[in-house]
Amino acid sequence: MTQYTIPAVATARAHLLAVLDGPDRRMDLSAEDELDAAGAQLIVAALRRAETEGRPLMLRMAEGSPAGRTWSALALDRLYQPVPLPGPGRPAGAAPVADDAAAGRAGGAE
């Protein structure tokens, strides 16, 4: 479980920097990961940095998860639409995963 929360901001930042510098270019928030507004701000900063560098980062979240609900409640899904991960009550592979080009950014809003 990863915490993207105020108490864990230093650890979350280090994790995001590792993802940005790594070859995978994908960040997954599972059903067990925690997210608050501070963590969401870090994730948005990482997504924007990745775009600026011309190396987009794919954000994936478990549908129906607390992190996904927080992301939507903050209206961040209007800026960055996460690719769905299997969530509660949904088996793995139940729906196709969007391709890399469509995954990171929704609607081109800035």
pTM of the model as a whole: 0.75
Its CATH class, for the domain covering 3-103, is: alpha beta
**In the chain, what are the domain boundaries?**
3-103
Pairing, β 34-35 against β 26-29: unpaired
Digit-coded pLDDT (tens) for 83-95: 998 755 444 444 4
Digit-coded pLDDT (tens) for 10-66: 999 999 999 999 998 899 998 889 999 999 999 999 999 999 999 999 999 998 899
Q: Judge residue 35's burial from the number of C-beta atoms within 10 Å of its C-beta, 0-12 exposed, 13-18 middle, 19 or more buried.
A: buried
